[in-house]
C-alpha cells in the first residue's frame, strides 16, 4: 500500500461528475464502468477494465472496498492496481503484490483462481477505483458486457477494437439497443449513462436475468478461426457437438454394468429408470474445470471409472449407457436461473447441462411429465441427472418453463422446456385428531408426496443423519403449531425416488384450542400454510415477476374429534379463491362429534408477471384470511 501515489486522472474525472438523486437506501454508485477490448488477428484478446465507485453508506465498505479479479490458465492477469480517494486525508494505492490469491470455486480440481485487494480508509464519501488487464485466447468469440448492476451506474463505456476485415454482431437483453459510435474503421464505442440499479424484490428472478446486458460476437476473416464464431443457436449446437464428439464411447466395463443394471428390468422404461437411478445414486457430483474442461465433458470411461463428474460428465455417461439399450439422447445446455438463456441472444451463457432423451414409440408416457414433442426429434424427455432427488420423468422447478439448447448432430436448436402439470407434484395430507376439553390436540398424520414435493422433502431428510430426521418433522409441524411434541415419526420410500415419499407422524399440542368462558376456539386448518407474506404487500409497485417454484397440487383432509360435552356453535364459511396462477378451496363441516376440514391448493405456473401481481396478491390474501379462521365450540348445557 502506498499513501503517496495519487489516483489516476480518469478516477478524478469520474469523481467530479454531478450525480443524480438516488434513493436513500442506495449504498454506493458506480461512477465509471469501462472496458476496452482489443482483438488481434491471431485470435488473442486483451482487455483493459476500469471501474470507480463512490461509497454512500457504511455497509458498502466490505463489498466495494474490496477488488476481486478472476483468472485461469487461459485468461492471464497481466496488471492490477487499485486506489482510494478518501473524503479527507491522503490518497492510497494498492498493487498486485498486495493481493491475496485463492481458488475461485470449491471444485475438486480447477485452474480458476482469483486475486483480491483490500483498500484501507474506505468510508462514506470515498471514491474507490481499480484497473486491470487480462489477456486470453477464448474457445468461442463471444463477450458479455453487463450494463446494469445491483447499484446505479453513472457512466458506462465499452470500446471494441477489431482487426481489419473482422466483423461483429450485437445482441441486447433487457435493454434498448444502443448504436455504437465508430471511432475509425475498426473501432466501436458504446456509451450509456444513468442506469438504474436492479432493485431487490422478494422472490424475484436472478438479478442477472432482469439486468440489461450486451452480448458481442466476433467474426474473423481467417476461415481457420471461424470455427470459434457462432451467430445462431444452430452454430453453437454444431460447435458443442464437435466438442463432445468422442466423449460417449462405451467400454466393455460400461457395457457390462448396463447389462447388470437392466437384467431384471422387464420393460424398456424400467431399464431407462434403472440407468437413471445409477447415475443419481452411484455417480457423485464433483466439478473439475481445467482449461476447456469447463466446457468439454470428460470421457464416459473416465466418469465411470472415477464414479464422479460434473453435470456435463454425468450427462455424458448416462447418454452412453442409454445408447447401449437402444435409446438415443442429446446434450442440453441450460441455466439454473430462469431468464439467463433467452431466444433472442444465441450464447453459451448457460451454466448447466441436462439430457434430452429421445423416447422410443414403445415407451408409454403416462408417468413421464417432462416431455416436449419436437417436430424433428420426436418425443424428448428432459432429465437432470445432477438433481439427485428428482425422479425420472420429472424436471426440477428451476428448469421448467425455461429454454435449453438441444445439441443434435445436425445442429443446435433452442427448445422451450416443459412446464409440468400441477398433478405431477403432489402433496396429499390426511390426519385424525382428538381435541380435549383443555384444548390439547393429539393425533396421527399421513403425508404422501410425489414429484417436486417429494424431491424437496427427500433432500431435507437425506441431508441429516437418521437420528436427526425427527427434527425435519418438528420443522414441518412447527411451521403451523406451537407448544407441541412429536411422539413418533417414520419415513417410507426415502431411497426409492420413483415411488411416492410417505411420512407418518404423531404429535401432541398443548393449548391448541383457545378457551373463552364456556367456548373453545379451534383452528380447523391444523397444518400447512399456503398464503405467504406476499398477500400483505400492496404498498409498492412490483418491477419483476414473482418466482413460485414448481406447479403443485396439495390437498388436506383432517378430522377432529370434539371433546365430550361440546357442540359446534359456529363454523368458518366455505372459501373458493382463484386466479390465472392458482386455485384454493376449503370447507369445514360437522358430522356428529367430528369436525371435518377439507382443503385444495393448486399452483399452476412457476412465475407471475408483475402486471398480474395484484390479482395474485388478492388470491393470497383470501388464503391468508381463511387459514386464520376458527371454529367455535360451545360447552353444552347439562
DSSP state of 517: T
Q: Say if CB 301 and CB 292 are below 8 A apart.
A: no
Calculate what percentage of the chain has a pLDDT beyond 70. 94
Q: What is the mean pLDDT of residues 283-308?
A: 82
Residue 327 has pLDDT above 90, yes or no: yes
Alpha-carbon span 599 to 575, nearest angstrom: 9
Higher per-residue confidence, 373 vs 79: 373
Alpha helices in 534-638 (DSSP H): 613-627
For 218-232, 293-307, 515-529, which range has the lowest pLDDT when averaged over its residues?
A: 218-232
Q: What is the mean pLDDT of residues 282-289?
A: 82
Is 451 strand, coil or helix?
helix
**What is the pLDDT confidence band of residue 533, given thresholds at 50, 70 and 90?**
low
Residue range 549-591, pLDDT digits in tens: 889 999 999 999 999 999 999 999 999 999 999 999 999 999 9
What pLDDT score was predicted for residue 549? 83
Alpha-carbon span 18 to 31, nearest angstrom: 10
Which residue is listed with cell 438523486? 21
DSSP state of 196: P
Q: What is the mean pLDDT of residues 358-363?
A: 94
Q: Counting beta carbons within 10 angstroms of the beta carbon of residue 406, is it exposed (0 to 12), middle (13 to 18) or buried (19 or more)?
A: buried
For the packed helices 252-262 and 311-324, what is the interaxial angle rounded to 10 degrees? 70
Closest CA relative to residue 331, chosen from 239, 401, 223: 239
What pLDDT score was predicted for residue 291? 44
Alpha-carbon span 192 to 184, nearest angstrom: 20
**What is the pLDDT confidence band of residue 484, given thresholds at 50, 70 and 90?**
very high
The secondary structure element, H or E, covering residue 266 is none
What pLDDT score was predicted for residue 111? 61
Closest CA relative to residue 41, chosen from 180, 161, 183: 161
Higher per-residue confidence, 535 vs 486: 486
Secondary structure, 3-state, 457-495: HHHHHHCCCHHHHHHHHHHHHHCCCCCEEEEEEEEECCC
Alpha-carbon torsion, ordered 259, 264, 265, 271, to 10 deg: -20
Residue 276 has pLDDT above 90, yes or no: yes
Give bridge partners of residue 415 from the DSSP assignment.
404
Residue 315 has pLDDT above 70, yes or no: yes
Alpha-carbon span 564 to 468, nearest angstrom: 37
Higher per-residue confidence, 325 vs 119: 325
What pLDDT score was predicted for residue 638? 64
Higher per-residue confidence, 480 vs 222: 480
What pLDDT score was predicted for residue 603? 96
Residue 206 has pLDDT above 90, yes or no: yes
| Rg, C-alpha atoms of the chain | 29
Alpha-carbon span 220 to 186, nearest angstrom: 13
**What is the pLDDT confidence band of residue 348, given thresholds at 50, 70 and 90?**
confident
Report pTM: 0.90
For 40-44, 297-301, 503-507, which range has the lowest pLDDT when averaged over its residues?
A: 40-44
Residue range 156-174, pLDDT digits in tens: 999 999 999 898 999 999 9
Alpha-carbon span 629 to 103, nearest angstrom: 54
What pLDDT score was predicted for residue 286? 86
Q: Which three cell numbers stand for residue 494?
A: 426415502
DSSP string across 292-326: GGGTSPPPHHHHHHHTEE-HHHHHHHHHHHHHHTT
Alpha-carbon span 154 to 33, nearest angstrom: 8
Q: What is the mean pLDDT of residues 597-606?
A: 96
Which residue is listed with cell 412429536? 486
Alpha-carbon span 204 to 226, nearest angstrom: 39
Residue 220 has pLDDT above 70, yes or no: yes
Is 275 strand, coil or helix?
helix
Q: Which three cell numbers stand for residue 261?
A: 443394471
**What is the pLDDT confidence band of residue 535, given thresholds at 50, 70 and 90?**
very low
Which residue is listed with cell 466501436? 188
Closest CA relative to residue 451, chosen from 494, 509, 391, 399: 391
Residue range 177-188, pLDDT digits in tens: 999 987 777 899
Cβ contacts of 2 within 8 Å, gap of 6 or more: 92, 93, 94, 95
Closest CA relative to residue 173, chosen from 151, 193, 145, 150: 145
The secondary structure element, H or E, covering residue 593 is none
Pairing of strands 371-374, 426-435: unpaired
Closest CA relative to residue 464, chosen from 451, 474, 477: 474
Residue range 440-457, pLDDT digits in tens: 999 999 999 999 999 999
Pairing of strands 426-435, 441-449: antiparallel
First to last CA, the chain: 88
Higher per-residue confidence, 78 vs 477: 477
Residue 410 has pLDDT above 80, yes or no: yes
Residue 406 has pLDDT above 90, yes or no: yes
Sorted by where each starts, the structural domains of the chain and their CATH numbers stand as 9-220 (2.60.40.3140), 236-420 (3.10.620.30), 423-635 (2.60.120.1130)
Distances from the Cα of 336 to the Cα of 103, 297, 347, 383, angstroms: 23, 18, 15, 13
Distances from the Cα of 322 to the Cα of 249, 269, 271, 360, 608, angstroms: 12, 11, 9, 12, 37
Distances from the Cα of 534 to the Cα of 622, 623, 624, angstroms: 12, 11, 10
Tally the C-alpha atoms within 13 A of residue 224's C-alpha that lie toward its C-beta: 3
Q: Which three cell numbers stand for residue 552?
A: 403443485
Q: Which three cell numbers stand for residue 45?
A: 484478446
Residue range 366-383, pLDDT digits in tens: 889 999 999 999 999 999
Mean pLDDT of the chain: 90
Residue range 93-110, pLDDT digits in tens: 888 887 777 765 554 455
What pLDDT score was predicted for residue 538? 54
- Can you point out the beta strands (E) in 8-63? 28-39, 45-55
User: Could you give the angle at the alpha carbon of 406 between the alpha carbons of 403 and 407, nearest 5°?
Assistant: 145
Amino acid at each position: 500500500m502506498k499513501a503517496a501515489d495519487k489516483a489516476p486522472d480518469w478516477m478524478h474525472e469520474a469523481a467530479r461528475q454531478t450525480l443524480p438523486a438516488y434513493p436513500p437506501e442506495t449504498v454506493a454508485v458506480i461512477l465509471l464502468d469501462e472496458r476496452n477490448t482489443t482483438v488481434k488477428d491471431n485470435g488473442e484478446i486483451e482487455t483493459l477494465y476500469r471501474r470507480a465507485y463512490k461509497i454512500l453508506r457504511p455497509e458498502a465498505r466490505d463489498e466495494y472496498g474490496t477488488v476481486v479479479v478472476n483468472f485461469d490458465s487461459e485468461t492471464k492477469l497481466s496488471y492490477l492496481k487499485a486506489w482510494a480517494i478518501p473524503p479527507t486525508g491522503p490518497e492510497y494505492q494498492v498493487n498486485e503484490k498486495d493481493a491475496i490469491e485463492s481458488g475461485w470455486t470449491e471444485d475438486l480440481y480447477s485452474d480458476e483462481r482469483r486475486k483480491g485487494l483490500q483498500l484501507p480508509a474506505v468510508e462514506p464519501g470515498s471514491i474507490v477505483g481499480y484497473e486491470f488487464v487480462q489477456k486470453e485466447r477464448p474457445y468461442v468469440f463471444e463477450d458479455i458486457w453487463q450494463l446494469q448492476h445491483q447499484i446505479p451506474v453513472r457512466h458506462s463505456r465499452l470500446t471494441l477494437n477489431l482487426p481489419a476485415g473482422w466483423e461483429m454482431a450485437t445482441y441486447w437483453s433487457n435493454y434498448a439497443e444502443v448504436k455504437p459510435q465508430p471511432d475509425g474503421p475498426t473501432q466501436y464505442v458504446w456509451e450509456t449513462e444513468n442506469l438504474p440499479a436492479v432493485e431487490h424484490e422478494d422472490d424475484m428472478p436472478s438479478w442477472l436475468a432482469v439486468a440489461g446486458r450486451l452480448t458481442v460476437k466476433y467474426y474473423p476473416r481467417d476461415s481457420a478461426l471461424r470455427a470459434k464464431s457462432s451467430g445462431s443457436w444452430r452454430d453453437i449446437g454444431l460447435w458443442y457437438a464437435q466438442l463432445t464428439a468422442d466423449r460417449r464411447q462405451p467400454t466393455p466395463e460400461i457395457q457390462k454394468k448396463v447389462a447388470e443394471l437392466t437384467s431384471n428390468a422387464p420393460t424398456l422404461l424400467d431399464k431407462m429408470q434403472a440407468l437413471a437411478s445409477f447415475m443419481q445414486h452411484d455417480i457423485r457430483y464433483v466439478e473439475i474445470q481445467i482449461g476447456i474442461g469447463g466446457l468439454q465433458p470428460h470421457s464416459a470411461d473416465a466418469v465411470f471409472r472415477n464414479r464422479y463428474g460434473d453435470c456435463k460428465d454425468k450427462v455424458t455417461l448416462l447418454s452412453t449407457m442409454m445408447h447401449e439399450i437402444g435409446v438415443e439422447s442429446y446434450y442440453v445446455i441450460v441455466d439454473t436461473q430462469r431468464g439467463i438463456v433467452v431466444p433472442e441472444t444465441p450464447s453459451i451463457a448457460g451454466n448447466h447441462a441436462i439430457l434430452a432423451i429421445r423416447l422410443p414409440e414403445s415407451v408409454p408416457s403416462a408417468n413421464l411429465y417432462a416431455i416436449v414433442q419436437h417436430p424433428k426429434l420426436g418425443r424428448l424427455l428432459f432429465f437432470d441427472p445432477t438433481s439427485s432427488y428428482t425422479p425420472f420423468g420429472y424436471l426440477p422447478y428451476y428448469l421448467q418453463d425455461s429454454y435449453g439448447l438441444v445439441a443434435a448432430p445436425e445442429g443446435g436448436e433452442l427448445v422451450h422446456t416443459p412446464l409440468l402439470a400441477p398433478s405431477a407434484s403432489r402433496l396429499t395430507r390426511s390426519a385424525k385428531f382428538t381435541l380435549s376439553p383443555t384444548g390439547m390436540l393429539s393425533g396421527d398424520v399421513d403425508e404422501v408426496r410425489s414429484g417436486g414435493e417429494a424431491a424437496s422433502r427427500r433432500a431435507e431428510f437425506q441431508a441429516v443423519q437418521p437420528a436427526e430426521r425427527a427434527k425435519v418433522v418438528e420443522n414441518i409441524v412447527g411451521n403451523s403449531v406451537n407448544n407441541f411434541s412429536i411422539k413418533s415419526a417414520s419415513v417410507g420410500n426415502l431411497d426409492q425416488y420413483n415411488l411416492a415419499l410417505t411420512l407418518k407422524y404423531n404429535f401432541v399440542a398443548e393449548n391448541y384450542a383457545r378457551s373463552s368462558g364456556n367456548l373453545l376456539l379451534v383452528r380447523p386448518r391444523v397444518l400447512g400454510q399456503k398464503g405467504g407474506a406476499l398477500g400483505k404487500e400492496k404498498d409498492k409497485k412490483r418491477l419483476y415477476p414473482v418466482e413460485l417454484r414448481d406447479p403443485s397440487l396439495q390437498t388436506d383432509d383432517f378430522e377432529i374429534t370434539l371433546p365430550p360435552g361440546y357442540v359446534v356453535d359456529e363454523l368458518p364459511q366455505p372459501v373458493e379463491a382463484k386466479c390465472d396462477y392458482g386455485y384454493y378451496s376449503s370447507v369445514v363441516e360437522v358430522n356428529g362429534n367430528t369436525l371435518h376440514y377439507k382443503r385444495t391448493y393448486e399452483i399452476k405456473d412457476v412465475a407471475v408477471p408483475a402486471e398480474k401481481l395484484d390479482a395474485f396478491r388478492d388470491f393470497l390474501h383470501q388464503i391468508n384470511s381463511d387459514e386464520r379462521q376458527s371454529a367455535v365450540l360451545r360447552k353444552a348445557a347439562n
